[in-house]
Structure 1
């Protein structure tokens, strides 16, 4: 048999298994390359964007290889989500976590070789007894999900991940598959080293998520801005807020303003309430959850239609991962960030609390985030360049590409504002500096003698309107920082700007934020009553099976059913997303609904 034929054969078998289990005719993106490597016993680090089908790259080989695939995953909720989805497709899977009552049965099934997948947390994997358990049955593969957690350079470092190398080294014949959606070049190199994967084992997919529309706005009235977004996007959504108090406040106000079901989620809630809120969100087709960033890493919900940030994220990596929770089903979705200059001021103040060894890296991350927020160009291009890609200049699906903003050279005005901050002793906030620069009649200005400064009254008319957006831009880039008493002090490249060595361009705020409802943004763009009936049936089946609706079928599968109107099980089985187990379990009931229409 020639080598070329040899290579194709396992993939042909894998494609047949892909059709049988998942109902897909072919692999997407780099899935085929990753699956081929796993089947050949080669260790791999796959960097794939959220929604690109990472879990399939170990679930499918696990059903084809002898032995069990051990999956290390950081959160119990994520494991249970994936467990439901795997079982719905007919895969023999189990979790071994602190909340599982059936752990004895799971151990028996593992030792008997009856499991395709065994999900565990890194904390369990690092216990000595776990290595002995693994030695008692054949292993097919080690899969390490959210692999950036192993790297101190990653944005979610988890020390227990560092113990995995020792565990895997004890089973040298078992290949390793590490998976992550967010890792820059530095982090990728660290993951390879920490998990003992050769450099040639790196499979890098593009980071682009073309179905997500990126929008960034200055935050002026978050409740009104988020309520407007919720009016346009009727499906499930996640709103990230910076603090627990803000989470509860926004959840209450948005529920009142919109009439939608809106629930809070943060670590300070009673565990039972937190768990119930998460379960309600996962099962819902229209609920919005307001959460701290801890929420979502454990959610494998494909039909989230928007992710909104009510403040800046910690880094571009964090932003990419959090927004990546939208539109995992491939349908259009939105990522909206509402930011304020104060967000950057606080973040720069917090840098002083960071370990000195990590401070420069954290500062660079913050500067990169400021660049994303302040750009007048394509947001997606800035995002993708950060991850080392060379994207086109325009994506056609971000706020700046769809409605290009005006840009103005504000260097002279910036020099006036920085001079005013310097000459007033670097201890006054924006309001005072604005009064000084515009020559306002003000008792406090006169008392301080600031009406006698050379910068008094040197800004008027149109230029005065630039002061507010300019102050935000200078704070975002770190040229102005807040002092502990709320005043502005010069920092970063402020002196270079004052000397005329640096220019300052600012994006002019849009005159109005009229957002037209996207005609195609609903799940049923053509208004087909059959699609609504299929969704209703999906809801009933989800309640009966006690799983979220998307575990039964995705909206895209229902749309294809409504469009093609199959009349037999064989025809229904040809539709994308309808695997053998689901065809057997639900086929007749979906055909009945189609016949009635």
Structure 2
């Protein structure tokens, strides 16, 4: 008991706290007694204290191995603020000058330094190993230990080399700490560090104050802006996968009057740490970041964490959402999910070593099943980390808005039989075509319209069958071969299901693709009609009239999304019309007069209040890039060269050109098209669009034959058509 008293006294003396949190005290005792110790403590549980306090109490210097330079600096500053002498804590990493390194070594050798933070890269340098051999080491602490495991969400190969280096420097107890680890990752860490006998301390992963929700990724920017405006003044973090998206989104938020800053590894470190400090000091409400951000960010009152892109693993997701509500107050965790994002992440894995692909694919599957499930989110998350929870939590979207489920064993069986019939050699898209009876060029050329399963699923939509494939994959009935273009393969469980179907509940509402289409045609989460259905109808009639008069297909005048946007924003002047999605200066002037007149009358007749402030303003800097593209095309530069010079993919360049043409600017890319398509083919596509009801590329491919034309060729011809006919 006497010892106990002194432990709390020590805590008071060094850190000014009068009591320990959770299992901190037991962990610290384990370290003081010289045992190897493994600590699994969710974010906000006070992990760092578990090695800081024993380091201050014990004889010698504790070596803290940590992957993040910014984090080391924060921790060193915070420990120095508790003590009197700056030498008590140091870090050793690549950011230090020769002179600074010398100072660190002197303080360590003289016994002044109690905690020495080292990056794993610095630990491998022979001069550092030689120096540490001469030091009395109290223990080694390995922070962010999940970096050791290939199954962890942030694997770093250099972490695998920690054990042999420690052996070389000299034996001392080990303490490994992480905020997220599945049973597999935990075992991996202990095995790699040679600490299978360690004392293990595992805190619960349940954070009852966090609200988990998944939303369809449709107009995510608008949803985010609306959410932040409803939560004004609260601190939040938005995670994106790419640096480019971080920059764009931060800029878009600022244009819409939201105080936000970007944060990613590509920025220079002064700007980056400046932005982090502004967030901590509440000079800015929102940080838009890649996952490089927030490691060890100790801001207790982050009120929301939004994932613009679904993360690559549930561990990553848990770690990032864990930055919300550390003070026990409200924390909303919202992730935008589109199955397309999962496919994009799968594409990135192509060409990586097979073992890495296997792991990556499994982690993605777990993420997709979490997103698409109808079960309480918290039950799934805790189960993933090996914890059971009996009752649904009542604080997630699935508990508060239960999703509709339907019994679909018959449909699942039909889908599996179709996969079997084509000998597991085709992708989901193609098998959906077989089931729904769509006669595409590919179906024709493989004679798949003669199969038994052809058209056996025409009672459902394409989207429905894609949902069946995804949920069958999640249930382990089929798998997707990423190496081979995503061919669907039957698993033993799937073969058994064909012979003897079992009940299968399909989550109905999670037909994300349909939801996305619905969302994309409206503003935010309203019903399936466009903003104002009556006005939308009138605008469509007017478009028909104009198209007859000018003898042009309706989509050349304004596309549907533009009419939808008009029925939401009610533009009543040509100036306002220019801001409507896909309109722009040229179209507004050429066709706009009758449309704004109609809208003005409608607004007056129906006493409509126009909420002009809810217009999501777009970022104007795109115009510079557009001007450069137009100039390059005027100089007849090849499109490949333009794409290279802007370092974007060809398909993204075509999207940019489409946007330019759709908003009414005339562009001539004949010089390029003449190189890729002969005259007859050009005429065929041009005539197709002249007669077409809609401007869909897929419909054109179906009609003209996918073996005849590529998607790129059709898109280029559509640009030519829109430019010549409409502009």
- Using the size of structure 2 for normalisation, the TM-score is 0.60
Alpha-carbon spacing, 1:155–1:482, altered in 2? closer, same or farther (3 Å):
closer
Per-residue deviation at 1:178?
1.1
* Aligned residues of 1:82 and 1:300 also touching (Cα < 8 A): no
- Alignment partners' CA distance in 2, 1:154 and 1:446: 42
The farther-off stretch of 490-499 and 298-307 is: 490-499
1:287 aligns with one of 285, 297, 305: 285
The SS at the match of 1:230 is helix
- 1:506 corresponds to 2:506: yes
Matching residue of 1:538: none
Give the one of 91, 96, 119 matched to 1:95.
91
> What is the distance in 2 between the residues matched to 1:163 and 1:241?
31
1:240·1:310 contact (CA, 8 Å) conserved in 2?
yes
What is residue 119 of structure 1 aligned with on the other side?
117
Looking at structure 2, the residues matched to 217 and 491 of structure 1 have their Cα atoms a distance apart, in angstroms, of: 29
Paired position in structure 2 for 1:84: 77
What pairs with 1:90-239 in structure 2 (closer than 5 Å)? 90=83, 92-100=88-96, 102-170=100-168, 172=170, 174-233=172-231, 234-239=233-238
1:546 paired residue number? none
CA drift of 1:339 comes to: 1.0
Measured after TM superposition, the shift of residue 382 of structure 1 is 1.2
Which secondary structure state, in structure 2, belongs to the residue aligned with residue 196 of structure 1? Answer: coil
- Structure 2 gaps, min length 5: 527-727
Residues 1:446 and 1:351: Cα distance change in structure 2 (over 3 Å): closer
Q: 2:440 and 2:38 mapped to 1: Cα distance?
A: 65
Q: Which moved more, 1:489-498 or 1:104-113?
A: 489-498
Distance 1:475 1:260, change over 3 A: farther
For the residues of structure 2 that align with 1:496 and 1:340, how far apart are their CA atoms?
A: 30
Partner of 2:398: 400
- 1:240 aligns with 239
The structure-2 alpha-carbon separation of the partners of 1:36 and 1:205, relative to structure 1 and needing over 3 Å to count, comes to same
Partners of 1:159 and 1:106 in 2: how far apart?
Answer: 27
Sort the Cα spacing of 1:385 and 1:424 in 2 relative to 1 into closer, same or farther, 3 A: closer
How many residues align structurally?
A: 503
Contact 2:426 2:488 in 1 (8 A): no
Match of 2:55 in 1: 62
Q: Give the 3-state SS of the residue equivalent to 2:215 in structure 1.
A: strand
Corresponding residue of 1:593: none
What RMSD, in angstroms, separates the aligned Cα atoms of the two structures?
3.9
Which of 9, 15, 24 lines up with 1:22 in the alignment?
15
Deviations 1:109-139 (A, max 9, x none): 2222222322111111222222333344433
* Greater Cα radius of gyration, structure 1 or 2: 2
| 1:71 corresponds to 2:69 | no
Label 1:170 to 1:468 Cα distance change in 2 as closer, same or farther (>3 A): closer
Query: Is contact 1:432-1:445 (8 Å) kept?
Result: no
In 2: Cα distance, 1:443 partner to 1:354 partner: 33
Q: Is the 8 A contact 1:341 1:472 kept in 2?
A: no
Given that residues 62 and 140 in structure 2 are in contact (C-alpha distance below 8 angstroms), is that contact kept between their aligned partners in structure 1? yes
In 1, the alpha carbon distance for the partners of 2:15 and 2:417 equals 64
Distance 1:121-1:484 versus aligned 2 partners, 3 A rule: closer
Between 1:476-485 and 1:49-58, the stretch displaced more is 476-485
Shift of 1:289: 2.2
Deviations 1:36-82 (CA, angstroms, capped at 9, x unpaired): 11111222111111111000101111222222222111010111122
Does structure 1 conserve the Cα–Cα contact (< 8 Å) formed by 2:239 and 2:290?
A: yes
In 2, the alpha carbon distance for the partners of 1:167 and 1:480 equals: 40
Aligned partner of 2:248 in structure 1 is 249
- Measure, in 1, the Cα distance between the counterparts of 2:466 and 2:94: 52
Contact 2:370 2:380 (8 Å CA) reproduced: yes
Answer whether contact 1:70 1:143 (CA < 8 A) is retained: yes
Take 1:249 and 1:452, find their aligned partners in 2: how far apart are those partners? 49
SS of the aligned residue for 2:302 comes to: coil
1:317 is displaced (CA, Å) by 1.9
Unaligned runs of 5+ in 1: 1-7, 516-597
Distance 1:274 1:46, change over 3 A: same
Shift of 1:509: 2.8
Q: Distance in 2 between matches of 1:225 and 1:269?
A: 27
Q: SS at 1:98's partner residue? A: coil
Cα offset, 1:446, TM superposition: 12
Alpha-carbon spacing, 1:429–1:44, altered in 2? closer, same or farther (3 Å): closer
SS of corresponding position for 2:64:
strand
Question: CA separation in 2, counterparts of 1:161 and 1:222?
Answer: 37
In 2, are the aligned partners of 1:75 and 1:298 still within 8 Å (CA)?
A: no
- Counterpart contact for 2:428–2:469, Cα < 8 Å: no
**In 2, Cα distance between equivalents of 1:492 and 1:458:** 19
8 Å Cα contact 1:306-1:326 kept in structure 2: yes
Distance 2:215 2:258 in 1: 23
Selected match of 1:35 from 16, 28, 43: 28
Select which of 25, 31, 38 maps to 1:45: 38
- Higher mean C-alpha displacement, 41-50 vs 228-237: 228-237
TM-score, scaled relative to structure 1: 0.72
SS, match of residue 199 in structure 1: coil
Is contact 1:14-1:60 (8 Å) kept?
A: no
Q: Tell me which residue corresponds to 2:4.
A: 11
Distance 1:365 1:320 in 2: 13
CA contact (8 A) 1:497 1:504 kept: no
Cα distance in 2 for partners of 1:254, 1:421 equals 45
Q: Secondary structure at the match of 1:305?
A: strand
Q: Secondary structure at the residue paired with 2:83?
A: coil
Aligned-partner SS, 1:215: strand
Match of 1:389 in 2: 387
Deviation digits for residues 279-301 of structure 1, max 9, x if unmatched?
43344365322222233336444
Query: Residues of 2 paired with 1:214 and 1:199: CA distance?
Result: 36
Alpha-carbon contact 1:218-1:340 (below 8 Å) kept: yes
1:107: Cα distance to partner?
Answer: 2.6
Q: CA deviation at 1:411?
A: 3.8
**Higher deviation after alignment, 32-41 or 289-298:** 289-298
Pairing 1:316–2:314 present: yes
| Distance in structure 1 (CA, Å) of the matches to 2:242 and 2:484 | 22
2:211 aligned counterpart, secondary structure: strand
Note if contact 2:420-2:490 (Cα within 8 Å) is conserved in structure 1.
no
Residues in 1 aligned to 2:302 and 2:379: alpha-carbon distance in whole angstroms: 23
1:229: Cα distance to partner? 3.1
Q: Distance in 1 between matches of 2:277 and 2:197?
A: 40
The one-character-per-residue Cα deviations of 1:540-566 (angstroms, maximum 9, x if unpaired) are xxxxxxxxxxxxxxxxxxxxxxxxxxx
